[in-house]
């Protein structure tokens, strides 16, 4: 899945910059959603494997995969262009310091606004900034909200995706909770951004979608329909790669009462193809390495785009992003992986960590 994750990370970078040579690839918000689906698959995989008996070890290892590279980028942002927190009230400063460092809870910035006095006030359900301006200005890394949502899923996952006799019941309750949140915002005519896109509960269903993909894979349900071999693996990879690389061409489906958006069609393709692609490349070092660059690309691109805005072309910004991502991967992430690999009782193992990226 490394190549797919790499393309999705590049898609987010392109979305925040400009189309690469005029081509947009996956629309940025949809790329983030597809990342959530992939995460649901992988987290279910590890929680029913090496982490079957230890949720605490799972959380520690995931934190060590997320925070070090992120902190390096935030430190660089602060040194190059510090946010003037000194002009804000203490409570506001405390919230932004926490959000920038701890990540968890930063997604709530999407439903907050800064009033003229610098205080944070809730955004009304209609999404109109009635008392101030968007609060994103207090964050060094705007897309940090997605990392917050991801971390919240990591915290919830050990309680949901353990594949025992109550797996389907817990999945059903979690899905009901997610759809209830979505239905509430829709009945209130709240705009999708931020109420559906930036908050945890409406996004939870996409993680669960990925978990169901793993359940179908581990139970043998998928292979009863299409057995896994090199032909089926490469065929599924070609379909999934095409759906990602040619995303603007993925059609909507409107047949009778069935109405599926491009994102929904892509999620279904991902659900079906992901187990086969995972099996196909699970021992590929090249694919693993490419996939490992997806996270540093994601956390670096925003800094590069803002720093070089108007100075160089978007193609050069993407090139700089990739180069910096390679540096951060080798200088920051590889030592962390090495450290975790030396503690087999607390880690998922070197190969599994590399697979997860």
Residue 56 lies in a domain: yes
Residues 267, 33 contacting (CB under 8 angstroms): yes
Q: How far apart are CA 112 and CA 89, in angstroms?
A: 15
The answer to whether residue 341 is domain-embedded is yes
User: 72 vs 342, which has greater pLDDT?
Assistant: 72
Residue 355 has pLDDT above 60, yes or no: no
Please check the confidence at residue 344 and state whether its pLDDT lies above 70.
Answer: no
Mean pLDDT for 193-213 is 95
298: nearest Cα among 264, 324, 331? 324
Phi, then psi, of 133 in degrees rounded to 5: -120, 165
Q: Are 239 and 269 contacting, i.e. CB atoms less than 8 angstroms apart?
A: yes
Please state, for a pLDDT cut of 90, what percent of the chain lies above it.
Answer: 61
Q: Kindly report, residue by residue over 326-343, the tens digit of the pLDDT.
A: 999 999 999 988 887 776
Tell me if 303 is assigned to some domain: yes
pLDDT at 175: 96
**Rounded to whole angstroms, how far apart are CA atoms 247 and 242?**
7
**Adjacency order of strands within the sheet including 133-134:** 120-122, 112-114, 133-134
- Asked if residue 263 is part of any domain, the answer here is yes
Distance (Å, rounded) from C-alpha 233 to C-alpha 356? Answer: 19
Please compute the mean of the pLDDT values over residues 169-178 and round it to a whole number: 96
Q: Is residue 345 part of a domain?
A: yes
pLDDT of residue 345: 45
Specify the pLDDT at position 24: 73
CB 16 within 8 A of CB 305: yes
Dist CA 122 CA 25 (whole Å): 34
CB atoms under 10 Å from CB of 321, counted, come to 26
Given a cut of 90, whether residue 84 has pLDDT beyond it is no
For range 258-286, the mean pLDDT: 92
At 108 the pLDDT is 94
Cβ 247 vs Cβ 74: under 8 Å:
no
Half-sphere exposure of 71 (CA within 13 A, CB side): 11
- Contact call for residues 105 and 98 (beta carbons, < 8 A): yes
Two tokens, residue 231: 């032909």
Asked if residue 169 is part of any domain, the answer here is no
Confidence of residue 349 (pLDDT cuts 50, 70, 90): very low
User: Between these two residues, 57 and 161, which has the higher pLDDT value?
Assistant: 161
pLDDT at 54: 67
Cα(67)–Cα(88) distance, integer angstroms:
26
Whether 17 maps to a domain, the answer reads yes
> In whole angstroms, what is the distance from residue 134 CA to residue 128 CA?
10
- Cis amide prior to 194 (ω within 30 degrees): yes
Q: What's the pLDDT at 21?
A: 64
Lowest mean pLDDT among 48-52, 140-144, 148-152, 224-228: 48-52
Quote the tokens at residue 255: 């047949």
In a domain, 340, yes or no: yes
Asked whether the predicted pLDDT for residue 346 surpasses 60, the reply is no
- Say how many domains are in the chain: 1
Domain span holding position 243:
2-79+221-356
Q: How many CB atoms lie within 10 A of CB 300?
A: 29
Q: Taking all residues of the chain, what is their mean pLDDT, rounded to a whole number? A: 88
pLDDT reading at 275 higher than 90: yes
Closest CA to 196 of 212, 211, 179, 210: 179
Q: Residue 278: is its pLDDT beyond 80?
A: yes
Structure tokens at 35: 């990342």
Residues in the chain: 357
C-alpha count within 13 angstroms, C-beta hemisphere, residue 282: 11
Q: pLDDT by residue (tens digit) across 138-167? A: 999 989 999 999 999 999 999 999 888 899
């Amino acid at each position: 899945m490394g190549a797919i994750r790499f393309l999705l990370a590049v898609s987010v970078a392109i979305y925040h910059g400009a189309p690469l040579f005029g081509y947009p690839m996956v629309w940025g918000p949809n790329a983030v959603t597809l990342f959530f689906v992939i995460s649901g698959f992988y987290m279910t995989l590890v929680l029913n494997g090496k982490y079957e008996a230890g949720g605490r070890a799972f959380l520690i290892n995931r934190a060590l995969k997320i925070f070090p590279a992120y902190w390096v980028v935030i430190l660089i942002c602060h040194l190059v262009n510090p946010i003037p927190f000194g002009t804000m009230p203490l409570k506001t400063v405390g919230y932004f310091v926490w959000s920038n460092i701890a990540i968890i809870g930063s997604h709530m910035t999407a439903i907050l606004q800064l009033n003229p006095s610098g205080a944070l006030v809730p955004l009304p359900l209609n999404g109109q900034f009635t008392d101030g301006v968007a609060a994103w200005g207090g964050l060094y890394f705007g897309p940090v909200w997605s990392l917050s949502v991801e971390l919240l899923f990591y915290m919830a996952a050990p309680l949901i995706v353990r594949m025992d006799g109550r797996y389907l019941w817990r999945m059903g309750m979690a899905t009901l909770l997610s759809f209830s949140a979505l239905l509430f915002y829709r009945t209130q005519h709240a705009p999708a951004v931020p109420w559906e896109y930036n908050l945890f509960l409406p996004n939870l269903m996409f993680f669960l979608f990925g978990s169901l993909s793993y359940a179908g894979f581990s139970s043998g349900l998928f292979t009863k329909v299409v057995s896994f071999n090199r032909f089926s693996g490469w065929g599924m990879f070609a379909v999934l790669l095409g759906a990602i690389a040619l995303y603007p061409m993925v059609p909507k489906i409107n047949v009778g009462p069935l109405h599926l958006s491009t994102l929904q069609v892509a999620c279904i393709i991902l659900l079906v193809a992901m187990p086969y692609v995972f099996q196909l490349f699970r021992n590929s070092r090249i694919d693993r390495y490419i996939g490992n660059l997806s996270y540093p690309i994601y956390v670096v691109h925003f800094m590069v785009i803002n720093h070089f805005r108007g100075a160089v072309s978007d193609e050069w910004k993407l090139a700089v992003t990739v180069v910096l991502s390679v540096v951060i991967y080798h200088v920051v992430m590889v030592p962390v992986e090495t450290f975790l690999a030396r503690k087999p009782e607390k880690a998922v193992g070197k190969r599994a960590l590399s697979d997860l990226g």
